[in-house]
């Protein structure tokens, strides 16, 4: 026996309420069944999927309000569950963002604060250039719960074999160890199936290959609980779109790079559509928890992305570096059409998935995320986080409630009230010295509890990052 409770839900200012204005449904199984009916079995654990795009702009999806980008499958996913308006990653570049998400721990806890060095660093041996082996990934934890685990796409957490996904909890891997690569057949020479190289001439367009491999993984594991991390490289550089898609987009934009970004994002949406359609065809959708998000803010100007209305871009501690599109869907559990405004983080994926799987977090280390399901179903009306932190060698930030303190690479201190200034356009530090002092102390204590980064960023990257704190410079990057 089920009771259908219709609710309209919105979260504001750390509090939550069910109010008119949102078409959402919540089905609460008050009584699953009676013993007299013979129904005594527990429901199977849900399948778990992370869908990840790479370097996409905050504004560059239909569900984010874009009229230029057609993303019907992601728009449908947004309507089917929750959209987080204050969704964050733990870093504004690829590798540390993945390290935080896949462990559920601030990557600063284990020294993976920065992107992997792009050139050899004699102070850091190759054997140490990756996600430390002391860390347990979400795949490790879910494998312990009896899940089949698979990674399709980008890894970027170490090139050495001991860092390989199949040595970090993933039963299966199809993708690249590196952070990026070409998309077209004949040039894609860095793809592996497990640890075996895949012939470049056997591949078509890489984004489509990733979608097909994800569909295959789901079909083969349909009769057991599975965890799939589908980690697209698009729309990361190099900017290589399918010719037919690009031809359709070129007439709509002034710059070719913007047209390529739209076409590449369309391919991502197509392949997410294939995954969702497969779940439907196999009767798995109702028992699958799906998350979509992006690894960091848009990589302006390199890939033609757009972060409006946010300030900054990839590499900064500003909203345009760390605030990302973020969706979560679980039919019958997460109410349809939920708009969740309290801050959440990709740190939350590990505890949310592990709890859904019926497991518990290991007690031998600290975790920084929250199980979001109680917050999304009205069982917990508080905000999931009091405070969130970010740090990348020079730039740093802390958010508490609607206050956000930014420490720029040039050691300036900026304070923003995000409740009325999502664009971080007005520094109010001089008006609220007590808030500056409180947040500074909070951040400095957090920072003091972590080791130094295992590797450092070179000065050239520092210079490029510093200029992205100047919004006039960032605005000059906008492609149309």
Q: Active-site positions? A: 94, 156
The DSSP symbol for 62 reads: G
Nearest to 131 by CA among 96, 106, 105: 96
Strands 191-193 and 196-197: antiparallel
Task: Identify the helix (H) or strand (E) that includes residue 448.
Answer: helix 433-448
As beta bridge partners, residue 117 has none
- Please name the residues in contact with 35: beta carbons below 8 A apart, sequence gap of 6 or more: none
What CA–CA distance (Å, rounded) separates 435 from 156?
Answer: 37
Separation of alpha carbons 339 and 12, rounded Å:
10
Q: Where are the alpha helices (DSSP H) in 121-255?
A: 138-144, 206-220, 243-250
Q: Please report which residue ranges of 125-171 form alpha helices under DSSP H.
A: 138-144
Cβ atoms of 116 and 455 within 8 Å: the answer is yes
Category of 117 on φ-ψ map: left (φ > 0), alpha (ψ -120 to 50) or beta = beta
User: What spatial distance separates the first Cα and last Cα of the chain, rounded to whole Å?
Assistant: 54
CA distances for 24 relative to 6, 7, 21, 330, 398, angstroms: 7, 6, 9, 13, 32
CA triple 82-83-85, angle to 5 deg: 140
Instruction: In whole angstroms, give the CA distance from residue 224 to residue 229.
Output: 16
Q: Which of 115, 156, 122, 99 is nearest to 462 (CA)?
A: 115
d(CA 129, CA 112): 9
How many residues make up the chain in this entry? Answer: 480
Q: Confirm if 235 and 54 have CB atoms less than 8 A apart.
A: yes
Cβ neighbour number for residue 267 with a 10 Å cutoff: 22
Residue 267: φ, ψ to 5°: -65, -40
Q: How distant, in Å, are the alpha carbons of 58, 65, 288, 317, 384 from that of 397?
A: 19, 27, 34, 6, 18
Q: Say what angle helices 349-356 and 94-103 make with each other, to 10 degrees.
A: 30
Conformational region of residue 271, where left means phi above 0, alpha means psi within -120 to 50, and beta covers everything else: alpha
For residue 390, the SS3 value is: strand
């Amino acid at each position: 026996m089920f009771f259908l409770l219709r609710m309209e839900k919105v979260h504001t200012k750390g509090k939550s309420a069910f109010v008119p204005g949102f078409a959402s449904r919540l089905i609460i199984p008050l009584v699953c069944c009676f013993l007299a009916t013979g129904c005594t079995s527990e429901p199977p654990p849900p399948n778990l999927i992370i869908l990840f795009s790479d370097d996409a702009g905050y504004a560059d999806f239909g569900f984010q309000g874009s009229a230029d980008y057609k993303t019907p499958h992601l728009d449908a996913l947004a309507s089917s569950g929750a959209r987080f308006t204050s969704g964050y990653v733990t870093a504004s570049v690829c590798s540390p963002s993945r390290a935080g998400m896949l462990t559920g721990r601030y990557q600063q806890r284990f020294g993976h604060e920065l992107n992997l060095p792009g050139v050899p660093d004699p102070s850091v041996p190759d054997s140490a250039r990756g996600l430390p082996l002391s860390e347990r990934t979400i795949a490790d934890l879910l494998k312990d719960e009896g899940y089949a685990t698979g990674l399709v796409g980008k890894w970027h957490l170490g090139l050495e074999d001991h860092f390989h996904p199949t040595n970090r909890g993933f039963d299966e891997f199809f993708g690249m160890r590196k952070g990026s690569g070409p998309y077209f057949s004949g040039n894609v020479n860095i793809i592996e199936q497990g640890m075996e190289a895949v012939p470049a001439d056997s591949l078509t367009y890489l984004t489509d290959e990733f979608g097909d491999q994800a569909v295959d993984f789901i079909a083969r594991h349909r009769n057991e609980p599975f965890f799939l991390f589908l980690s697209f490289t698009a729309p990361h550089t190099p900017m290589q779109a399918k010719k037919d898609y690009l031809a359709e987009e070129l007439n709509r934009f002034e710059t070719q790079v913007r047209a390529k970004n739209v076409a590449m994002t369309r391919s991502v949406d197509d392949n997410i559509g294939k995954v969702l359609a497969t779940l439907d065809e196999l009767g798995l959708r109702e028992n699958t928890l799906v998350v979509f998000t992006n690894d960091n803010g848009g990589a302006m100007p390199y890939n033609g992305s757009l972060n409006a209305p946010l300030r900054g871009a990839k590499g900064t501690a500003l909203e345009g570096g760390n605030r990302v599109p973020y969706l979560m869907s679980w039919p019958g559990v997460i109410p349809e059409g939920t708009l969740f405004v309290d801050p959440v983080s990709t740190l939350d994926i590990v505890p949310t998935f592990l709890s859904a799987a019926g497991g518990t977090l290991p007690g031998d280390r600290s975790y920084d995320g929250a199980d979001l399901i109680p917050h999304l179903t009205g069982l917990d009306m508080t905000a999931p986080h009091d405070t969130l932190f970010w740090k990348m060698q020079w730039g740093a930030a802390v958010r508490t409630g609607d206050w956000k303190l930014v420490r720029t690479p040039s050691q300036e201190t900026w304070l923003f009230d995000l409740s009325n200034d999502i664009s971080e356009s007005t520094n109010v530090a001089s008006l609220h010295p007590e808030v500056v002092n409180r947040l500074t102390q909070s951040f400095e204590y957090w920072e003091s509890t972590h080791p130094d980064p295992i590797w450092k960023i070179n000065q050239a990257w520092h210079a490029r990052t510093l200029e992205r704190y100047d919004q006039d410079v960032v605005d000059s990057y906008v492609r149309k």
